[in-house]
Amino acid sequence: MKRAAKNDACCWEAIERNTSWVLERAASATVVSSRIRIARNLSGFPFPHNMTFRQAVEAENEVWRAFLGFRSSGREIYMLEMNALSEMEKGFLCERHMVSREFTRSSMPCSVAIFPGEKISVMVNEEDHLRIQSFRPGERLEEALLDADRLDDHLSGQLSYAFSGRLGFLTSCPTNIGTGLRASVILHVPGLDVSGRGKEVMKEAGKQGVLVRGFYGEGSRSMGSFYQVSTRETTGKDEKEIIENLQVVVNLTVREESKALLLLSNSKEKMEMERSLKRRLRSSTLSSYAFFSLFSRLVLARKLGIAGFDTEKIGRFLHYALPNHMQLKAGRKMSPEERDEERGRMVRERLRRCIDV
Amino acid sequence: MIKQPCCLCGKESEVSVVVVRNGRKSLSRFCRECTGSDDFPGKVERISGRGSRRRTPEYCPACGYPYRDFREYRFLGCPECYSHFGKEVDRYLKRIHSSLFYKGKTPSRTDPDNLKKGKGLSLSRKPVEK
């Protein structure tokens, strides 16, 4: 176990290297990644929003002690105290989906534990005392659930969870009561977006009992043709049944995306798409939203046979177009205009070279 | 750990008062300030009688979280709030969840009392299906 300090460069490098799970398949798959989130609370403590500073420290220490005995398949577990991090570092973790945006704004003692071996991050003292998040590239919700479950079982042997036989796990917000589980996937559907059916399909998905959200979950905007789809129900079903419902919606969306791609491949718009792509690749400045949009069009162009590239190589660009990744790499704070220029340069000088259009 | 709040103002309590009514004991906690107020005996009388009328407390006796905050923000203060604000939480849960029947996993270490069906919670035993 390694406790990372603010300027521990080695630790940050390792975290950066080992946490690209969420967007690993952004350039190749329709289902980019799967995530399981489990909410747990300690009995005998108020919920985090109602705790005193001292109670928050006590709860945090209790959780950290419980982590010690966990046998991780990775060599190290990284523990980061959020209040010891800079705004850029907090933003970096948020862009990697390791922590939520609300969590980065907390002034109370809170921390995140990262288990690279299991592809797990645990937020301590977020909305609930524990928010276990397990990630997998692609559509592998069951595997993600197994790993989250293993850590949860270990912790439940060390900690006294707030649990009721009738209601299940008790949470700070009653919407999460019961299993405390929310499963989500990031879908990349440029075919549906370009054919104008994206919103319609996502609206249909919403009717099947799932929530369609922006790229960073609740309250965030969608970026490019990326959507986050997550489960709504947390009780009345067991964990596997909750996941099954989401899998059905995901399969339907993947089928619709394939149909859209087939229609587009036979359309006469391909020439126009190629021209527009070449124009965008010459942009002098690009906001992160514009970059994500370009990225989605690139992936679509590859699927339609207009462009060719190594998906893994291109996928890596996506993280480094994000504001905090960019600033952390440059080692300084940059204004939005500077970042847009830098993004434009990255596209013209590096990304374009990797693409065969 | 959770400090017991005063039943009247929610501040940290220092005095415990036991009232015996019809052979039933009820324990309430108060801060020094409230015990010094003029109508304190009347307030104790009203509070000790609450149990029989099953009124929702203004504050959670375990963590001091105000009931009005639950109504306004829909968050609870501690795990105990679920039982102390029983009926109101129950009503809200029925509104936001299509079913309250719990089928998920059970933690390996927990207070055995909590596992007894319905212990400390006002929810009915029958699964609520809409």
Asked if the Cβ–Cβ distance from A46 to B65 is below 8 Å, we say: yes
Q: What is the sign of the dihedral through the CA atoms of B123, B124, B129 and B130? A: negative
Q: What is the ipTM of this complex?
A: 0.85
CATH number for the region A11-258 comes to 3.30.590.10
Q: What is the mean pLDDT of residues B100-104?
A: 90
Q: Please, where in chain A does CATH 3.30.590.10 lie?
A: 11-258
User: How far off is chain B from A116, nearest CA to CA, in Å?
Assistant: 25
Residues A120, A98: Cα–Cα separation, whole Å: 8
Counted across chains A and B, CB pairs separated by less than 8 A come out at 131
Structure tokens at A337: 């205009």
Q: Is a pLDDT exceeding 70 seen at residue A6?
A: no
Q: Residues 6 or more apart from A320 whose CB is under 8 A from it? A: A326, A329, A346
Q: What pLDDT is attached to residue A108?
A: 93
Contact call for residues A128 and A176 (beta carbons, < 8 A): yes
Asked if the Cβ–Cβ distance from B100 to A235 is below 8 Å, we say: yes
Q: What confidence tens digit (pLDDT) does each residue in A134-176 have?
A: 999 999 999 999 999 999 999 999 999 999 999 999 999 999 9
Enumerate chain A positions whose Cβ falls within 8 A of a Cβ in B.
41, 43-47, 49-50, 55, 58, 149, 153, 156-170, 172-175, 177-179, 181, 233-239, 241
B71 at A interface, C-beta within 8 A:
no
Q: What confidence tens digit (pLDDT) does each residue in A188-240 have?
A: 999 999 998 888 888 888 888 899 887 777 777 778 999 999 999 999 999 99
When mean pLDDT is compared across A102-106, A164-168, A296-300, B39-43, the lowest value belongs to B39-43
Residues A171, A186: Cα–Cα separation, whole Å: 25
φ, ψ dihedrals at A240, nearest 5°: -65, -40
Q: State how far Cα B85 lies from the chain centre.
A: 5
Rg (CA), chain A: 21
Q: Which helix (DSSP H) or strand (DSSP E) does residue A184 occupy?
A: strand A181-188
Q: What pLDDT is attached to residue B124?
A: 28
Asked if the Cβ–Cβ distance from A236 to B79 is below 8 Å, we say: no
Query: In 3-state terms, what secondary structure has residue A287?
Result: coil
How many CB atoms lie under 10 A from the CB of residue A148?
25
